Amino acid sequence: MGISPSRPEPGSVGGDRLPAGRREAFKLRALRDFTLCLARAREFDESLHLALMVLLGTYSIVKGVLFLKEDGEFRVRVSRGLPPGIPPIETSKELVSALRRSSQPVWMGRREISGAIRKAAADIERAVPVFSVNVLCPLGTRNGSLGLLALGPTFTGEPLTLRQRETLSVMTSLLSTHISNHRVLSDIFRLNEILRFQVQENERLLAGMQEIYLDTIRALAMAIEAKDPYTRGHSERVAKISVSIAVGLKLPEKEVQAIHIASILHDIGKIGTARSILMKPSSLTAEEVEEIRRHPQTSFEILSEIRFPYPNVAQLARDHHEWLDGTGYPGGKRDRQIPMGARIIALADAFDAMVSDRPYRDSLPLLAALGEIRSCLRRHYDPNVARMFFRSLRRELAGDPQETPVFTGLGKRFSRMATLEFLDRTLKDLH
C-alpha cells in the first residue's frame, strides 16, 4: 500500500517533529513566494493562478476557488483541484455588508457566523458538490468587496494552527490589494483608450475645420482676383513664397499661420479700388495713385472685422507696402516698426508683381527681378528675409526634391545656370 490516508506510514522518513525554526522559515518563504508571484506574473490571471497555488501549497490544502465580483455576482476566476465550469454565486446586500464587516478569513467551523456568509458557503458547495468549504476569505478594500476565496480542508484533515491562520490573513490582504491595484490600472487603461480616441476624433474635426477655414479665406481672395484678372493666382503664389520664408526663418507656428492668411488676403482692400484704375493700361494720375495706395488700409479695415485664430493678420496686410527706409505706405513705418510678417509679405508680393504681366507693362525677366530686389536690400527689403527667399529659390532651382514647388510664377524664359550663379553670389555676399 503506497497511500493510506487512515494509517500514517511509519519508519520511512521519521516522525513529524521538526525544529520550530524550519516551520517559520517555510512560512516566510511562502510569504515571499506569494508576493513575488503577484508582482512578477506576466498577466493578471497567471498571477491569481500562482497566488492560489502558493496559498494551497503553504497550508497543504488540495482544493480552492477564487471568485471575483463582476456585474453584481461572484464569478470564478481560478480554481484548483475542482472540475471546470463552476457557475457564478449570487450576491446580496446582506452578503456584501457581511463581507465588508469581516475582512478576516472566516472559519466555517465557528459558531457565530453571519447568515449571509453561511449561505454563500452553502451556495458554493451546491455549485461544486465535491467541495467542502472550510475557510471563506473575503477579498476587498475599504472601498468595498472585490471577491471571495473559498478553501477546502487541509490535506491531512488537521485544522490550521493559530500562526497559520495569521499568515493566511496576511496573504489574503495582499491578494486583495493586488486585485484592487489591477482594477484601478485597468480603469486607467480604459479611460486612456477613451481619451486617446477622443483626441484623435478632435484632431480629425479640427483638420476638417481648418480646411473649411482656408477654403473660406481663398474664396475671399477670389473676390479680388475676379475684379482684377491681372492678379489671378497672385495671392496663392505670394502665400507660398511667404510661408516658405517664414518657415525658413523658424518663426513660431502661430505666426506662420498668421502670415499664411495675411499673405492670401493682403490685397483684399483692392475690392474698394475702381476697376478702371486696376485695368488702366497707362501711367496713373496722382489721384489714381492715391486711390490705389489706399488698398492696404482698406485690407486692414476689412480684416479687422474677422476674429482670426492667429495674431495680427490685419496688421500684416496693412503693412505689406511699408519699406525699411520709411518711404513705403500707408504709415511710412521704418525697420522694426514693420512686423516681420509684413516684411516677408512685402518681398514676396513685390517679387511676384515684378515677374507677372501688368496692364501697363510686361513682366520683368527673372534675373532682372532678383537684381532689383538685391539692389533694394536694407532700403526696401529686410536682408534676413531676402536671404531666406534667395535660399528657398536656390533650393528649388537646384532641383532638391521638394514635395510641392514654392515658386510657380517664374515663367520659362530664364537661364537656370545664370540664376543659380547669381543666387550663389548673392547668398555669399549676404553672409
Partner 1 sequence: MSYLKVRTRRADDALVVYIDGYLNSLLGEEVERVVQEALDAGSKKILLNFEGTRLINSIGISIIIDIVEKIMERNGMLAFCSLSRINRELFQMTGVARYVRAFDLEEEALGYFAQSA
Binding site for partner 1 (CB under 8 A): 1-5, 8-9, 12-16, 18, 22-23, 26, 29-30, 33-34, 37, 46, 49-50, 53-58, 60, 62, 80-81, 154-156, 158
For partner 1, which is the closer residue by CB, 4 or 282?
Answer: 4
Cell numbers given for 243: 510661408
For partner 1, which is the closer residue by CB, 30 or 86?
Answer: 30
Alpha carbons 242 and 258: distance in angstroms, whole number: 11
Q: Minimum Å distance from CB 177 to partner 1?
A: 19
Alpha carbons 158 and 128: distance in angstroms, whole number: 22
Q: Do residues 389 and 351 touch, judged by C-beta distance below 8 A?
A: yes
Cell numbers given for 91: 450576491
For partner 1, which is the closer residue by CB, 31 or 247?
Answer: 31
For partner 1, which is the closer residue by CB, 61 or 120?
Answer: 61
Q: Minimum Å distance from CB 155 to partner 1?
A: 5
Instruction: Sheet containing 135-141: give its strands across.
Output: 89-90, 73-80, 64-70, 144-151, 135-141, 106-107
Q: Minimum Å distance from CB 16 to partner 1?
A: 5
Q: Minimum Å distance from CB 57 to partner 1?
A: 3
Q: Minimum Å distance from CB 134 to partner 1?
A: 15
Q: Minimum Å distance from CB 82 to partner 1?
A: 11
Q: Which amino acid is at 403?
A: E
* Bridge partners for 139 per DSSP: 147
For partner 1, which is the closer residue by CB, 156 or 327?
Answer: 156
For partner 1, which is the closer residue by CB, 22 or 431?
Answer: 22
Cell numbers given for 299: 485690407
User: Buried b vs exposed e over 275-284: b needs ≥16 C-beta within 10 Å?
Assistant: eebbeeeeee
Alpha carbons 312 and 258: distance in angstroms, whole number: 7
Single out the residue of 413, 262, 414, 283 nearest to residue 348, CA to CA.
Answer: 262
